[in-house]
Amino acid sequence: MSFSDRSGLIFNLQSYSVHDGPGIRTMVFVKGCPLRCPWCSNPESQSSEPEPGLNLVRCLGLAKCRICLMSCPHGAVKKGIGYPVLDREICCLCRDYSCRSSCPSGALIVYGERVKAPDIIGRVEKEGVFYNRSGGGLTVSGGEPLKQPDFLMDLLELAKRRRLKTALETAGLAEFAVLNEAAGLADVLLFDIKIVDRRIHEIFTGVDNDLILSNLILLMEKKPPHLTVWVRTPVVPGFNDTPAAARALGRYLARLPAEVRFEALPYHRFGQSKYSILGRHFPMGSLRLADGILEAFEGECLHSMKMAGQVNCTSPDSESDSWSALGNGWERGDDSKRPASSDRQIFSLKL
């Protein structure tokens, strides 16, 4: 089967990104993810099927427009108080979503579009001047790109033929053979390690991390010379924002047999509005990451690596002994005085 025959399901194609790989990049976001992280900023990525959404901020309201009520052949768009509502059980059975094109304000959304690798690469090449000057290229993200391995390999292989630099963002939850093949085609691997603690990982994401952690170790043993690996950890309040989590991660990274770059990423709520569009509750509520925790987490992680006698990890920032500067029990080695709000949030998410 040729590149032109196979397609993949994506939910976004974003130009001029500077956060997911070196330089200026085009991001392709692939649908489907085996994890269910409560802090996910792209909840529309989780399902492996197209998914309907209703953006009431864009909606003109039923007093001005009722086109959607008449355009759905299945009766999934119903009359609500001032605005339409979606019967999502009926809506998700539809494979046409013709009502989307009838909405004059773009309030009806379908997350998920079938595309082929040559179409993606063609767009990337049009923006090539920015990549040549900045060292950027194409980043494949998600969701979890490894859930669509054929489409992913098509993208990476075609990009390689066209001499485009590529990055792959993954949580590593896939068969090692798939991960290894994709890593062999990419220039940069952005590997997401959320937490080392197996039990906490499973409570929050719905899946344990045994395969994730073993996959990275095995990959680093077989790492091709051209591949640069970045380990990235989102620091999330009530989940892994503790010295113990940082130390455990540092000890794990110290076991890796080849050099990686480590970066701690700050928790944010940029995707909160998407949950209401999808008719879901945002699990994280109003939680925010306390000031100084991100830098302290990264510093503690790197300190733990050095204590283990390893220096095979680099970071954008130098190590800092900043847990003690935070006060309120955040001294190095003391997890007993975590903020009560974080403890309550862990309990609520277990339920």
For the chain, domain boundaries: 7-46+113-350, 51-111
Q: Tell the CATH superfamily of the 7-46+113-350 domain.
A: Aldolase class I (3.20.20.70)
Cβ(136)–Cβ(164) below 8 Å: no
CA–CA distance, 197 with 245 (Å, rounded to integer): 8
Query: Same fold for the domain at 7-46+113-350 and the one at 51-111?
Result: no
DSSP string, 288-316: -PPTTHHHHHHHHHHHHHHHTT---EE-S
Q: Alpha carbon 55 to chain centroid distance?
A: 22
Structure tokens at 328: 């309120």
Q: What local confidence, expressed as pLDDT, does residue 228 receive?
A: 95
Q: What local confidence, expressed as pLDDT, does residue 336 receive?
A: 44
CATH number for 51-111 (one of 3.30.70.20, 3.20.20.150, 3.20.20.70, 3.30.230.10): it is 3.30.70.20
H helix or E strand, kind and range, residue 27: strand 25-30
Neighbours of 57 (CB within 10 A): 9
Nearest to 186 by CA among 21, 337, 3: 21
pLDDT in tens, the chain (351 residues): 566 678 999 999 988 888 888 888 899 999 999 999 999 999 999 999 999 999 999 999 999 999 999 888 888 899 999 999 999 888 877 777 878 888 999 999 999 999 999 999 998 888 777 777 778 899 999 999 999 999 999 999 999 999 999 999 999 999 999 999 999 999 999 999 999 999 999 999 999 999 999 999 999 999 999 999 999 999 999 999 999 999 999 999 999 998 899 999 999 999 999 999 999 999 999 999 999 999 999 999 999 988 886 555 556 554 444 444 454 444 544 444 444 333 333 323 332
Q: What local confidence, expressed as pLDDT, does residue 315 receive?
A: 61
Q: What local confidence, expressed as pLDDT, does residue 142 receive?
A: 93
CA–CA distance, 260 with 331 (Å, rounded to integer): 27
Q: Alpha carbon 281 to chain centroid distance?
A: 19
Structure tokens at 189: 């691997």
Q: Angle 265-266-268 (CA atoms, 0-180°, nearest 5)?
A: 130
SS (H, E, C) 248-290: HHHHHHHCCCCCEEEEEEECCCCCHHHHHHCCCCCCCCCCCCC
Q: What local confidence, expressed as pLDDT, does residue 338 receive?
A: 42
Q: Alpha carbon 63 to chain centroid distance?
A: 38
CA–CA distance, 201 with 194 (Å, rounded to integer): 7
Q: What local confidence, expressed as pLDDT, does residue 350 receive?
A: 31
Structure tokens at 121: 């690469």
Q: What local confidence, expressed as pLDDT, does residue 20 receive?
A: 83
Q: Angle 98-104-107 (CA atoms, 0-180°, nearest 5)?
A: 75
Neighbours of 99 (CB within 10 A): 24
What's the one-letter identity of residue 194?
A: K
